[in-house]
A and B are shown apart, each in its own frame.
Chain A
Amino acid sequence: MAVTDAPKLITARFDQEDAHTLAGYESSGGYTALRKALGSAPDAVLAEVKAANIQGRGGAGFPAGTKWGFLPPDVSPRYLVVNGDESEPGTYKDRLLLERDPHQLIEGVLIASYAIAANQAFIYIRGEMPFAHERVAAALNEAYAAGYIGRDIMGSGWSLDVVLHWGAGAYIVGEETALIESLEGNRGMPRLKPPFFPAVKGLYMQPTIVNNVETLSNVPWIVNNGGAAFAALGTDESAGTRIFALSGHVRRPGVYEVEMGKTTFRDLIEAPVYGGGIRNGRGLKAFIPGGASAPWFYEEHLDLPLSKATVDKAGSMLGSGAVVVMDETTCPVRAALRVVRFFAHESCGKCTPCREGTNWLEKIMHRIEEGTGRADDLDLLLDVSDNLSPGIAWPPRQTTICPLGPSAVSPVASSIRRFRDDYVAHIDQGRCTHD
């Protein structure tokens, strides 16, 4: 495996200064895909996206074309909702797509809405990303003025209205049903699925497709170049390219668009064009392969390819594409505590196990890290984890509505299983052994 010479599908304009403006976008081929899509039937566009076999880039990795196909026919109104509430720790790819190439997303929204016969779309942007909000708002205004959005778009007879919505600062709103609740003006709390699968009963109880920013940003390229060209990239099971947000103890943290399935974690972390290796030449302790919710990976996982199937099979996930690297000096207890604290802070409070359990886990971890841990705390941590996520298996089972609670179990279980000695040392010595 190595660095492939696959084209940049969605980050091609990241270095173009004026890509965020309509003129800049059009000068580099912008809105040609829309024109092409509007010239064919919605079903043909849908077929093209299905042929591309693009998996959702938000975290769950569900094929987008299949998702669009779940909409019940002849029910209207129906909505497209763009999930731009990117909040998974270590993930910052959508923010750059929103800031640097907003028209690419808007074009994707237009084509997707056309394909699913929606006349109303919503772009939900995380509250902590004001610059992204500003750029998308400006781009929407330009697109409206240019007639790309609005009534009877480019003479096609089809109309679309796009509403930009600014989030209020809750991680859980990245979960699609919580995002829908938030969009409706309610507290951002997930709905139980079933019965509320958004494709059937979503926003305002109408059929709704919720797609990630990166997923939709791929759509113009797919329409311009054909689904087959997209599917030809990567592997059969993980098609196309994907943006990974690399952070932690690497020399060159950043976002990198890489070809799926043909690049490995080692490539991403060590290749000079990507991470450039671990800082100060140190060894690897662990890395998180796909966002804070993912179980940790270690040295032996470095040569796994960046593909959904292989990572799933190895007991974790590519999730939101956030790879966080921890070098050998990292205290695993403190690292796990940080992640658990995040989930406890972001628990919406709806389900008892998550509301109370994540907080309890944080308190115990905090005690251990501060040097007041007890001998039976490890068993307690694992049993509390088990009550959040029965069996502590992967993919996780859950006693909650959404996976946030079980996500807090990942760092706890991962670190205890791999670094039990570090925990025991903390407890025995009454202090953090990495200070």
Chain B
Amino acid sequence: MTDIAENGTEAVRGVAVTLNGRVIDAQPGELVINAAERAGVYIPRFCHHPRMQPVGMCRMCIVEIDTGRGPALLPSCMIPVAEGMVVETESPVTRKAQDGVLEFLLVNHPLDCPVCDKGGECPLQDQTVAFGPGESRFVEEKRHHEKPIAISDVVQLDRERCILCDRCTRFAKTVAGDPLISFVNRGNETEVNTFPDHPFASYFSGNTVQICPVGALTATPYRFKARPWDLDQVESTCTSCSVGCRVAVESSSNQLVRYLGVDVDAVNWGWLCDKGRFDFEAVNSENRLARPLARQGDDLVEVSWSDALTKAASALGGAKERHGSSSIAVVGGARLTNEEAYAWSKLARSVLGTDSVDAQMGDGLPSDVVLGLPRATIDETCAAGTVVLLGPDLKEELPILYLRLRDAVVNHGLNVIEISASQTSMTRYAAVSLRYRPGEAAVLVQELFEHAGDVDVQADLGRARALLEANNVVCVLGRPSVAERADSVVQAALRLRSRVPGMRFLSALRRANIHGALDMGLSPGMLPGRVSLEEGREVFTEAWGQLPGSVGLDTAGVLRAAAEGRIQALILVGADPLADFPDRDLARRGVAGAGFVLAVDCFATDSVRQADVVLPAVSYAEKAGTTTNIEGRVSRLHQKVTAPGTTRPDWMIACDLAERLGGDLGFETAEAIWDEIERLAPAHSGLTAQRLASSEGLEGIVAAGPSSILETTMDVTATATLPVDGYSLRLVSTRKLYDNGTLVQQSPSLAPLAPGEVVRANPADLDRLGVASNDRVRVASSRGAVVAPVEADAAVARGTVLLAFNQSGSGAADLIDVSLPVTEVRVETVGIGDREVSG
């Protein structure tokens, strides 16, 4: 049936359903429970969840539905509306049945609400109080189980409270793809449990706690920490990685106690990864830097802000005066809000006079590539004709993007072509998964289009080629491994783009607000708003007073220059090159070689301990502002708790330093900085604070940027196969979700989850080398050597060896020389006595 809408076009009319005697207009295919809710009638439910397929198990939502064959009690969560359907949600029969279900749910429920974490925000409790019987007719012994049992390192299960709604088990199986919890036993003895010796070790386990409609699943970091009525909440954006999940930040007594995922269509659908959910513990950590420190001989001692700033300003001013602005460098900034990144960008360019600023730690991609390629959002990527993955293991680095892509593949038939050096978590979901030799991604792409390559991969290449014919191809582009240089990956991406018309890109750089930092110009040769130094020179010179004359150095360049004594003042803004830069030898020489090191950070990292002056910064949830995700989506951050000690926001520290150096950034508030960004940064024009604060801004607003800055001079046609050394394997080094990074290590619940250092290699290679699985091996490159246990793993391609980056005692950074295109290593078994050997 059609109606003529007001604008004269034909609009499809909905389905007419009689709900409690009133005709409502439902959408075709809509479930009765949802249609009723839109019409203002809430039908109680437990198992139904808007982001999962209905199962109709709990029976709470049964209502009388008449489809022409007489009224029957049917689960409204499973029945789609039909024309002429009559639904009674308040009839005596419906009421009696629903009351009965509620009573059934309660007969074996322990009713321990006073000591249950869920009490006060419990759907079962709420329903019971609203509709349930006043007293129990059940006089028998209730069902008993040992409780609670730990089903993972962070999740506890109380089977007595469980109402078997299948939400957690459904989530694990259908959303996370980690079917590690399941119903076991039958009937009244049914329980949720793990399989023997297989804990619920899912990166997404915390979501089950959030969606549990009772207190059966609780999270170790939150258990018994607060009662819901004591909680204070603000909505914010997670910055544990760069996906930009919306999150509700909750505190009690000015301490963070819990994060909950907020459901926004564009990004996370309500889900969070466990790292994002539980790393609030790091904010609460007692190890936070609370007061400024300054070097006295070998020690860092507490000093006043005034003394610290004076000392820092005099060193910076002295360096500029005696050695020129190019002797000053700023490294880091991905931890900052957009406003803070802008303030530091302005400080560096206009006050310090240097363009040697870089928020990337040598483990990303050139900023003109990240900012300049045509972009796709997450939604657009999931709806693409074909998606090419050329980057890291998404489950490890951008977990919620993994969930979204997995959903697109499993439920909507998205075709994925994976181009990677070893198998990843996405391999099983890929239509075609192609392996390239580290350093030779571009070679593989060339073979793809030129019908070259080995016979045994011709079929795969052919299928990939066919899939690339699709309309609307999107490439998820990141850094697959830090043990190979970015060049070959960039070349591969550009070559793909040159052969696939209209190809768009979604960045897979992982670090917090790295995209915001790059947008704000924390990259050599870039200015805020995705314009190059030259492009923006006129506008920004007028606004800022002065700009550096020429393009500065990136992080690798800064460290190299510092090692050679050419950097007099190195500022580390939330940067820990000793842990994060791929080439530890260079990082060590660079930090040691800088004349003066100023660190602005939340924790005393290895690099911070090398500094001459340390300024303590406020952390996540302690400051307001905006952040930018992989899509370029700008969303708001909110302050929930007060920062420890005398810590200050990074933008304020930038202003303080400017003032001490005789400059003036001109900011009194973070809001004022955003106003300037909106006014000056081309990509952010029109993205006003008002819009971000409006309902439109709830899920963030994508900053649409110009793409004219991509000025790569790279020859996309040349192909260099690297000479193969028959005795060596090529190193692949990628990140795991849980690593030796500060957020994880300062969160007691997460720190033990880091897997530690393990060398992985293909069983065939180990056979050839005469190395047995679980042997301790020495892995040596031209740079150094590490000793670690080895595991045979068929997921690792032949000819390569996998060593996770930044694990406890990790040596991957000891092996990598960033001046070489790839890292060739030799692997040999070590005896007990050789254990001391190391680079």
Which positions in A face B, CB cutoff 8 Å?
170, 187, 192, 194-195, 344-353, 355-360, 363-364, 367, 380, 384, 386-388, 390, 397-401
What's the minimum C-beta distance from B828 to chain A, rounded to whole angstroms? 45
Contact B140–A353 (Cβ < 8 Å) = no
Nearest-neighbour CB distance to chain B for A403, whole angstroms, equals 13
Assembly CA distance A399 to B60 (angstroms): 9
B137 within 8 A of A: yes
Q: Is the CB of B57 within 8 A of A350?
A: yes
Contact of B73 among A347, A384, A398 (CB under 8 A): A398
Counting CB contacts under 8 A, is B101 at the interface?
A: yes
Query: Quick check: B187 and A358 within 8 Å, CB to CB?
Result: yes
On whether the beta carbons of B93 and A352 are closer than 8 Å, the reply is: no
Chain B residues within 8 Å of A388, by CB:
100
Q: Given known contacts A349-B189, A399-B73, A401-B56, what 10 new A-B pairs fall within 8 Å (CB)?
A: A192-B56, A192-B75, A344-B187, A347-B187, A349-B190, A352-B101, A356-B188, A359-B188, A360-B104, A397-B73
| A195 / chain B contacts, CB cutoff of 8 Å | 78, 80
Closest to B75 in A: A192
Report the minimal beta-carbon distance from A159 to chain B, rounded to whole angstroms: 29
CA distance A364 to B138 in the complex (A): 9
Cα distance A356–B59 when bound, in Å? Answer: 12
| Cβ B108 vs Cβ A390 within 8 A | no
Question: Which 7 A-B residue pairs are closest in the complex by CB-CB distance?
Answer: A387-B100, A349-B190, A347-B187, A356-B104, A359-B188, A363-B140, A349-B187
Task: Kindly state the separation between the CA atoms of A398 and B56 in the bound complex, as whole angstroms.
Answer: 14
Q: B residues 757-793 with Cβ under 8 Å of A?
A: none
CB pair B73 A352 closer than 8 Å: no
Taking a contact as CB atoms under 8 Å apart, the answer to whether A345 and B187 are in contact is: yes
User: Which residues of B are in contact with A by a Cβ distance under 8 Å?
Assistant: 56-60, 62, 72-73, 75, 78-80, 93, 96-97, 99-101, 103-105, 107-108, 137-138, 140, 163-164, 183, 185-190
**Interfacial chain A residues near B138, Cβ < 8 Å:** 360
Given A192-B56, A192-B75: A355 touches B190 (CB 8 Å cut-off): yes
Complex Cα spacing A346 to B72, Å: 25
Q: Decide if B186 touches A349 in the complex (CB within 8 Å).
A: yes
Q: Which of A356, A363, A364 contacts B105 (CB 8 A)?
A: A356
How far apart are the CA atoms of A386 and B104 in the complex, in Å? 12
Q: A192-B78, A387-B96 are in contact. Are A352 and B188 (CB under 8 A)?
A: no
Bound-state Cα–Cα, A398 to B75, Å = 11
A399-B59 in contact (CB<8A): yes
Q: How far is the CA of A344 from the CA of B188 in the complex (A)?
A: 7
Task: Given A351-B57, A352-B57, A390-B96, verify A170-B186 contact (CB < 8 Å).
Answer: yes
Least CB distance, B138 to chain A, in whole angstroms: 7
Shortest Cβ distance from residue B381 to the other chain A in the assembled complex, whole angstroms: 28
- Measured between beta carbons, the chain B residues less than 8 angstroms from A398 are 73
A348 CA / B105 CA spacing, docked (Å):
16
- A-B CB pair tally, cutoff 8 Å: 93
Question: Which residues of B have CB within 8 Å of A400?
Answer: 59
B59 proximity list for chain A (CB < 8 A)? 351-353, 399-400
A–B Cβ pairs within 8 angstroms, 10 of them: A344-B187, A347-B188, A352-B57, A352-B164, A355-B164, A357-B100, A357-B104, A363-B140, A364-B140, A387-B100
Contacting residues, chain A, for B62 (C-beta < 8 A): 399
Q: Which residue of B lies closest to A362 (CB)?
A: B188
- A359 and chain B: residue at smallest CB distance: B188
Majority secondary structure of chain A interface residues (helix, strand, loop or mixed): helix
Residues of B within 8 A of A360 (CB): 104, 107, 138, 140
* CB atoms of A386 and B101 under 8 A apart: no
- Report whether over half of chain B's contact residues are helix, strand or loop; otherwise say mixed: mixed
Q: Are A399 and B101 in contact (CB under 8 A)?
A: yes
- Chain A positions within 8 Å of B105 at CB level: 352, 356
- Do the beta carbons of B104 and A352 come within 8 Å of each other? yes
Nearest Cβ in chain B — how far from A377, in angstroms?
Answer: 10
Nearest Cβ distance between residue B90 and chain A, in whole angstroms? 16
Q: How far is the CA of A390 from the CA of B568 in the complex (A)?
A: 84
Q: Could you say which residues of chain A place their CB within 8 Å of the CB of B96?
A: 386-387, 390
- Bound together, the chains give a CA A401 to CA B96 distance in angstroms of 17
What residues on A are CB-neighbors of B183 within 8 Å? 187, 349
Quick one: given A360-B138, A390-B93, A399-B73, are A347 and B186 in contact (CB under 8 Å)?
yes
Q: Indicate if the CB atoms of B73 and A390 lie closer than 8 Å.
A: yes
- In the bound complex, CA of A387 to CA of B78 (Å): 20
Cα distance A351–B105 in the bound complex, in angstroms: 10
Q: Considering only CB atoms, which chain A residue lies closest to B140 in the complex?
A: A363
Most A CB within 10 A of own CB, among B59, B105, B187, B188: B187
Nearest chain-B residue to A196 (Cβ)? B78
Q: In whole angstroms, what is the CA distance A358 to B104 when docked?
A: 10
Does the CB pair B187–A346 fall under 8 Å? yes
Nearest to A399 among chain B residues (CB) is: B97
A311 to B257, CA, bound (A): 64
Nearest to B143 among chain A residues (CB) is A359
**Residues on the B chain within 8 Å of A170, using CB:** 186
Nearest chain A CB to B58 CB, angstrom units? 5
Q: Smallest Cβ distance from A331 to chain B, in angstroms?
A: 21
Q: Could you tell me the distance between the alpha carbons of A401 and B72 in the complex, rounded to whole angstroms?
A: 12
Among A348, A351, A352, find the residue whose CB has the most chain B CB atoms closer than 10 A: A352
Rounded to whole Å, the gap between the CB of A302 and the closest CB of chain B is: 33
Report the Cα distance A350→B169, complex, angstroms.
Answer: 13
Smallest CB–CB gap between B212 and chain A, Å? Answer: 16
- Given known A351-B57, A353-B101, A387-B96, contact A397–B188 (CB-CB < 8 A): no
Find out whether the CB atom of B187 lies under 8 angstroms from the CB atom of A353.
Answer: no
- Chain B residues closer than 8 Å to A399, beta-carbon distance: 59, 62, 73, 97, 100-101
Q: Which A residues lie within 8 Å of B97 (CB)?
A: 387, 390, 399
Nearest neighbor of B108 in chain A, beta-carbon distance: A356
Q: Which residues of A contact B188 (CB under 8 A)?
A: 344, 347, 349, 355-356, 358-359
Could you say which residues of chain A place their CB within 8 Å of the CB of B103?
387
Query: In the complex the two chains form, what is the Cα distance from A398 to B100 in whole Å?
Result: 12
Return chain A residues, CB-CB under 8 Å to B164.
349, 352, 355
Compute how far the CA of A397 lies from the CA of B97 in the bound complex, rounded to whole angstroms.
11
A350 proximity list for chain B (CB < 8 A): 57
CA distance A187 to B170 in the complex (A): 13
- Do the beta carbons of B187 and A355 come within 8 Å of each other? yes
Bound Cα distance A170, B186 (Å): 9
A387 touches B187 (CB 8 A): no
Give CA–CA (A194, B100) in the complex, Å: 23
Q: Which residues of A contact B56 (CB under 8 A)?
A: 192, 401
Chain A minimum-CB-distance residue to B99: A387
> Which residues of the other chain, B, contact A386 by a CB distance below 8 angstroms?
96, 100
A360 to B107, CA, bound (A): 8
Knowing A192-B56, A397-B72 are in contact, say whether A353-B186 is a contact too (CB < 8 A): no
Residue numbers in A under 8 Å from B78 (CB-CB): 192, 195
Q: How far is the CA of A350 from the CA of B78 in the complex (A)?
A: 15
Q: Select from chain B the residue with minimum beta-carbon distance to A345.
A: B187
CB distance from B832 to the nearest CB of A (A): 47
Residue of B97, B183, B188, B190 with highest tally of chain A CB at under 10 A = B188
Given the complex of chains A and B, what is the CA–CA distance between A192 and B79 in angstroms? 10
Cα A390 to Cα B93 in complex, Å, equals 8
Cα(A364)–Cα(B137), bound, Å: 11
Which residues of chain A are near B73, meaning CB under 8 Å? 390, 397-399
Q: Name which residue of chain B comes closest to A380, CB basis.
A: B137
Query: Inside 8 A of B79's CB, which chain A residues have their CB?
Result: 194
In whole angstroms, what is the CA distance A380 to B79 when docked?
Answer: 31
- List, in ascending order, chain A residues with CB within 8 A of B57's CB: 350-352
Q: Which residues from B are CB-within-8-Å of A380?
A: 137
B78 to chain A, nearest CB (A): 5
Q: For residue A346, which residues in chain B have a CB less than 8 angstroms away from its CB? A: 186-187
Q: Which residues of B contact A397 (CB under 8 A)?
A: 72-73
**In whole Å, how far is A413's beta carbon from the nearest beta carbon of chain B?**
16
- Closest chain A residue to B54 by CB distance? A192
Q: How far is the CA of A70 from the CA of B107 in the complex (A)?
A: 42
Chain A nearest CB from B513 CB (Å) reads 44
Q: Which residues of B contact A387 (CB under 8 A)?
A: 96-97, 99-101, 103-104
